[in-house]
Structure 1
Amino acid sequence: MRSIGYREAVTIPLEVTLEGPGPAHLAGVAEIGVCDEICMPVRLPFAVDLPEGGRRDPRIAAALADRPLTAEEARAQATCTALSDGAGLDLRLRVAMPPLGRDEAVVIESADPGLWLSEPVARREGGALIARAEAAARDGGPVAIDRAGLRITVLAEGRAVEIRGCGAG
């Protein structure tokens, strides 16, 4: 089993655009999973007065600089197919992109909370990263995959590429 997360502290950058000048107050609730031996959902209320003039916090600037590359920035293009295997779907993904480094890993997430995706098995074939994962409905019903709603993240050597959606392959 693979776990992807953060230790100690995490900065989640958020860019806010105000409609007009003047101070602003931002409040809400962040829902996250906090894990040790098991993961527990946690609701974190927050409220902050934003500084007038849009001064940037250096921690936010550093988090934005350390974000994953987009598909365009990484010159990556993803295609995928989903074939029925009787109980669910066999998702096959091809990401054409230059290697990020040794031991590339792939994470596939769906925008559909009712869809379960297994941990992908990935290998490099020349200029493409090939990955396979199983997909099933969490309620045991029929399975459908919205290719546009997939988020594919490729990780290697402290670098990441995030690809939104995949074309028909």
Structure 2
Amino acid sequence: MKRSGLLQNVTHFLVLATLAGYFFAKPSEAASSEWTVVEGGEVRIVAAKPQADGNIPAILDIRLKPGWKTYWREPGASGIPPEVTIDAAGGIDFSGIRFPPPQTFDDGIVRYVGYDHSVALPLTLKRNRPGDLALDASVFLGICKDICIPVQAALKVSLPERLVENPLERARIDAAVAALPAQPDDSFKVASAAYDPKVATLSMDVGLPEGADPSSAEIFVAGPPGFGFGKTAISITDGGTILAKVPVKPPTSGGALKSGSVLVVVTSGDRSIETALAFD
């Protein structure tokens, strides 16, 4: 009986040691940077193992304190859009940031577009060589409350060939991708678009999902560097679609707004789409 009890105790110890190894060793193996902490929140990068095609799932993870906000890709006249640069020498190429649907904030003085809650922005990354990788990122963004605080962070993530993923952080990445706007379909799309440079106005005819409330639809526009976009005016057409007119402010150096260079996000209820605009 004593020997049986001893074996049972040893077995319990081994089980507990295994569980402890899982819960306490995993975070050290997770592919995430340290948090950079500022007054209104904190920021880090989380990455997963490279996939078979070389793509690397990853997010810029922005945690905000209550009452603080951060910005979308086209934040308005006073905002600071997130910027990320990554050193390709670490074996990773970077081609852009993706954004979930934003909100418009307007206090009567300043109008800007962004988020009033913690948000994760998927990063488009791809390995450019075999072996262990190093994600060496420089991040610049703004978070604001009564004042706006520029945040500059150097974030480093090691991606060894034998990386063991943290399932909770991989779930965080997957949730961020799932929150992105969908591609248009026949039930929800920009039916047509046009740009009139004489009056500097971009027009869109948008078909909303069946049963959607047109008055609740929102449209967000981003374009080439130097172009600014004003407050969108939305009206309901006789055909049940919405007509959106967006004032465009060209850069002082001039330049044409070309078809395919403007990205639009349309939200309606709990659905959203994102597409590049084609116009004459």
- Structure 1 or 2, whichever has the larger Rg, is 2
Which structure's relative contact order is higher, taking Cα pairs within 8 Å and 6+ residues apart? 1
Q: Percent identity?
A: 23
Q: Are the counterparts in 1 of residues 233 and 246 from structure 2 also a CA contact under 8 Å?
A: yes
Equivalent residue for 1:26?
Answer: 135
Query: Residues 135-162 of structure 1, C-alpha deviation per residue, up to 9 Å, x if partnerless?
Result: 12242x6462123110111113233211
Equivalent residue for 2:231?
Answer: 119
- Provide the secondary structure at the position in 1 that maps to 2:176: helix
- Provide the secondary structure at the position in 2 that maps to 1:166: coil
Q: Are the counterparts in 2 of residues 82 and 92 from structure 1 also a CA contact under 8 Å?
A: yes
- Provide the secondary structure at the position in 1 that maps to 2:257: coil
Q: 1:68: how far off?
A: 0.7
Whether 2:213 is the aligned partner of 1:104: answer no
Cα gap change, 1:144 to 1:41, in 2 (>3 Å): farther
Q: 1:131: how far off?
A: 0.4
Query: Residues 99-125 of structure 1, C-alpha deviation per residue, up to 9 Å, x if partnerless?
Result: 583300111111x22112111111333
**Pairwise CA RMSD of aligned residues?**
2.9
Q: 1:3: how far off?
A: 3.8
Q: 1:81: how far off?
A: 1.9
Q: Are the counterparts in 2 of residues 74 and 161 from structure 1 also a CA contact under 8 Å?
A: no
- Distance in 1 (CA, whole Å) between partners of 2:123 and 2:186 is 20
Equivalent residue for 1:148?
Answer: 260
- Distance in 1 (CA, whole Å) between partners of 2:129 and 2:186 is 32
- 1:25 counterpart letter in structure 2: A
Whether 2:195 is the aligned partner of 1:82: answer yes
Unmatched segments (≥5 aa) in structure 1:
none
- Provide the secondary structure at the position in 1 that maps to 2:153: strand
Q: Are the counterparts in 1 of residues 234 and 242 from structure 2 also a CA contact under 8 Å?
A: yes
- Distance in 1 (CA, whole Å) between partners of 2:140 and 2:270 is 26
- 2:125 counterpart letter in structure 1: V
Q: 1:90: how far off?
A: 2.1
Cα gap change, 1:134 to 1:66, in 2 (>3 Å): same
Equivalent residue for 1:6?
Answer: 115
- Distance in 2 (CA, whole Å) between partners of 1:92 and 1:9 is 32
Of 130, 142, 150, which residue of structure 1 is paired with 2:243? 130
Q: 1:75: how far off?
A: 5.0
- 2:143 counterpart letter in structure 1: V
* Greater share of residues in helix: 2
Equivalent residue for 2:16?
Answer: none
Cα gap change, 1:96 to 1:157, in 2 (>3 Å): closer
- How many positions carry a matched residue from both structures? 164
- Distance in 1 (CA, whole Å) between partners of 2:139 and 2:217 is 30
Q: 1:128: how far off?
A: 3.0
Q: Are the counterparts in 2 of residues 136 and 143 from structure 1 also a CA contact under 8 Å?
A: no
Whether 2:205 is the aligned partner of 1:91: answer no
Query: Residues 77-108 of structure 1, C-alpha deviation per residue, up to 9 Å, x if partnerless?
Result: 453222245xx512211234535833001111
Q: Are the counterparts in 1 of residues 234 and 243 from structure 2 also a CA contact under 8 Å?
A: yes
* Greater share of residues in strand: 1
